[in-house]
Structure 1
């Protein structure tokens, strides 16, 4: 089984860190993994996404064009990637920052107010960890 994961948002939201965490979780489970970051030249605030593949078999390419798992932390990323998720895939949306409601019925969509939850509990900057937790809950 191969899980192709795409994580997307703005720089500074911990997108690449989420990807590293998921890659390490895969390594811990003795899976084949790849981690491929993509970001603009800005230090913070620019676009950012990360492809992670976790598989029982060798991975031919680290690029994820049609993810079966997508986490989005901003509206531009939602708009760009929601159509690429394979039928039956899982999408986790930070509903604090993304107002869009998905009209696709062939995927599983979860709205998590991760940024609001992190801020309410004085854990500013840890919304990404909340989203990874939701993903792990849904995948296990």
Structure 2
């Protein structure tokens, strides 16, 4: 079981990243739950999603501690890193982070999500880059199966684009363990 949080601000694709993860995990036979919180602003307000992915029945969608924290911005990291479980994994969007001292009890992976999304001419793909980094950092699912299902997800939505899977794969390939 993995207790996961995606956190950032509105407009960064926080809710979409979580929704993609639960849909793909469910298609691969996992039990999933999702809860979200966001402020009234359409863009720029706080946005977060709690996701639980498990092989077993899920008792509560509100874990006491997180196994995985995906931070789209530095404020999200500052606010939620204290909720991490010992040995958990934090993924940061290095594009918007300053110098940080990371806690010793967690693994930290960084990816230059904004730069990758812009390089691939898919600014809205920032969340997919972070999702790719999360799959690399956690090994939660096979990367190729995830990428194939991601492509099918966007095809089903009528938003097929090679750039979506490219963002995901670049996030996977470029994620670096920082601690």
TM-score normalised to structure 1 length: 0.93
Q: How many matched pairs?
A: 139
Corresponding residue number in structure 1 for 2:100: 101
> Greater CA deviation, 85-94 or 102-111?
102-111
SS of 2:69's equivalent? strand
Asked whether the 8 Å contact 1:92–1:135 carries over to 2, the reply is yes
Asked whether the 8 Å contact 2:90–2:108 carries over to 1, the reply is yes
Corresponding residue number in structure 1 for 2:130: 131
Structure (1/2) with the larger helix percentage? 2
CA distance in 2, matches of 1:31, 1:123: 29
Q: Which runs of 4+ in 1 moved over 3 A?
A: none
**RMSD value, Cα:** 1.2
Q: For residue 88 of structure 1, report the CA deviation from its aligned partner.
A: 0.8
Indicate the structure (1 or 2) with the bigger Cα radius of gyration: 2
Note the residue ranges of structure 2 that are not aligned, 5 or more in a row.
Answer: 140-179
SS of 2:76's equivalent? helix
Asked whether the 8 Å contact 2:109–2:137 carries over to 1, the reply is no
TM-score normalised to structure 2 length: 0.74
CA distance in 2, matches of 1:38, 1:105: 28
Corresponding residue number in structure 2 for 1:69: 68
Corresponding residue number in structure 2 for 1:114: 113
CA distance in 2, matches of 1:65, 1:24: 24
Corresponding residue number in structure 2 for 1:50: 49
Asked whether the 8 Å contact 1:38–1:50 carries over to 2, the reply is yes
Asked whether the 8 Å contact 1:52–1:64 carries over to 2, the reply is no
1:55-111 C-alpha deviation (Å, 9 max, x unpaired): 122112112441100000112111100111111111000011122424211111011
Corresponding residue number in structure 1 for 2:40: 41
Asked whether the 8 Å contact 1:6–1:64 carries over to 2, the reply is no
